[in-house]
Amino acid sequence: MILDLTEEEELVRKTARDFAEKELKPRAAEIDRRGEVPRAILNQLAELGFMGIITPETYGGAGLSNLCLALIQIEVNRACASTGVTISVHNSLCQSPINRFGTEEQKRRYLPKLTQCEWIGAYSLSEPVSGSDAGALISTAVRDGKHFVLNGTKNFVTNGGIADLFVVFARSGRDLSVKHAAISAFLVEKGTKGLVVGKHETKMGIRGSSTTSLFFEDCRIPAENLLGVDGEGFKVAMHTLDGGRIGIASQAVGIATACLEESVKYSKERQQFGVAISSFEAIQWKLAEMATNIDAATLLVHRAARLRDAGRPHTKEAAEAKLFASRIANDAANEAIQIHGGVGYVKDFPVERFFRDAKITEIYEGTSEIQRIVVSRALLK
C-alpha cells in the first residue's frame, strides 16, 4: 500500500476495492468462462462514476484525476482483468482523446453517452500489417466533399464487439514520404454503413473482454467526425497511448497483487512435512520478492499518473511503468502457480486465470520491446 494519497484518492480506492471484492471477484471465473462481461456490471460501474473517470462533470463524468483512474484500475484488475481492460479502453483510449482533442460539439455529442454507459467506447489503431510500427498503417480516409471515405482492416480491437463508438486511425494524406504526417483520427459510430465488425477472438487470457477485427468498405464518415487536426492523428494516437500504458501498468499491478494475496493465503493453509509451507524459506523468499516488486511497480504507476495530471511530459515514465509492471505481473503469476503446485494448474484455483491474464500486459498498448525503445530513445536524445 502506497501512503501518499489524499483523502479523496483514498476514498476512490476504497470504493473501487469494495465493489471489486463484492461484485467482481465472485463472478470473475464465470466472466472468464462465458467470455463476456455482463452489461449489468458495467452499468453498476457507471453508477459509481467509473465509466467516465477523467471526463469533466460538464459532460457527465466524475472529473477525477489520472491517478484516481490508476487506483480504480488496480483494484478492478485485482478482481477481474477482463472487466479491467474493458473500462480501461473505454476511459483511457476512447474518452481521453475526445476530452483532449475533440471539438465542443463532439464532446457534448459523445461524452455523456459514454460516461453514463449508454455507449461503450473502443480504440482502433493496429492493423494486420502494422502492430508495433503503428505509423505503417495502410487504411485510408479519402476526403469526398463533406465526408471522409474509409477503407481498410483493423484488428485486435478491444471492446470491438460491444462498442458503440470507435476512435479510428487512417491514412488521409497522399504524401507517404513522412508516414506519420499522413494519418488522421476519426470518430466512427457503430452501425455506420460500410463498417463491419468481425468475429469475437478466442484468446488465452482476458477472455471476458471483447476483441474483434473491423472492416471498412467505402465507409462514409461526416467530416465533423475528424478528431483533432487532419494529418496529425499520430500525435493523437501517441498521447492517448501514454495514458493507456499507465492503465495497463495499473492492470498489471492489480493482477500481481491478486497473485500475492492468493499465494499468501494458500501458503498458510497448505501443509507439507507436517507444517504450513509458509514456514519454508523458499516460499517466504518468493512472497517477499513479489511484494517488493509490486510496491516498486505501484510507485512507477503513481509517478506517471501524477505527471500526466500535471500536464508534464510522461512518455518515458509511462513506458517504464508498463515495462516493469507487466514483467513483475508475469513473474508473480508464475511464482503463484509454483507455490500452489498442481492445484495452481487447474481452473478451480484463480491463479490459473491470473497466469493467462498476465501475459497480455507485455503485448498490448505497446509490447515490452517497444517500451524499451521508448525509454532508451528518451535517454539517448
Fold held by 7-120: Butyryl-Coa Dehydrogenase, subunit A; domain 1 (1.10.540)
pLDDT surpassing 60 at residue 197: yes
How does pLDDT run across 24-43, given as a tens digit for each residue? 999 999 999 999 999 999 99
370 vs 135, more confident: 370
Q: What percent of the chain has pLDDT over 90?
A: 95
pLDDT at 376: 98
Cα radius of gyration (the chain):
21
> CA 256 → CA 51, 81, 267, 302, 357, distances in Å?
24, 11, 16, 16, 10
Structural class in CATH, domain 235-380 = mainly alpha
pLDDT surpassing 60 at residue 2: no
pLDDT at 131: 87
Cell 466533399 identifies what position?
145
Give φ, ψ of 190 to 5 degrees: -60, 140
Fold held by 122-231: Butyryl-CoA Dehydrogenase, subunit A; domain 2 (2.40.110)
Is 30 annotated in the active site? Answer: no
Q: Which three cell numbers stand for residue 7?
A: 483523502
The single-letter DSSP state of residue 364 is T
Domain ranges for the chain, please list them: 7-120, 122-231, 235-380
How does pLDDT run across 308-340, given as a tens digit for each residue? 999 999 999 999 999 999 999 999 999 999 999
pLDDT surpassing 80 at residue 59: yes
- Which residues fall within 8 angstroms of residue 377, CB to CB, at 6 or more apart? none
How does pLDDT run across 110-132, given as a tens digit for each residue? 999 999 999 999 999 999 999 89
Cell 468498405 identifies what position?
217
pLDDT at 4: 82
Averaged pLDDT, 81-100:
98
Average pLDDT of the chain is 96
Of residues 294, 339, 203, 210, the one with CA closest to residue 1: 294
pLDDT surpassing 70 at residue 295: yes
How does pLDDT run across 155-187, given as a tens digit for each residue? 999 999 999 999 999 999 766 556 667 999 999
pLDDT surpassing 70 at residue 21: yes
- Give the strand pairing for 121-124 and 165-171: parallel
Averaged pLDDT, 195-204:
96
Out of 75, 317, 352, 365, the active site residue is 365
Model confidence at 279, pLDDT cuts 50, 70, 90, reads very high
Averaged pLDDT, 132-137:
90
In the chain, alpha helices (H): 7-19, 28-34, 39-47, 66-79, 81-88, 96-101, 104-115, 233-269, 281-309, 315-340, 351-359, 368-380
What is the helix (H) or strand (E) element at residue 183, kind and residue range? Answer: strand 183-189
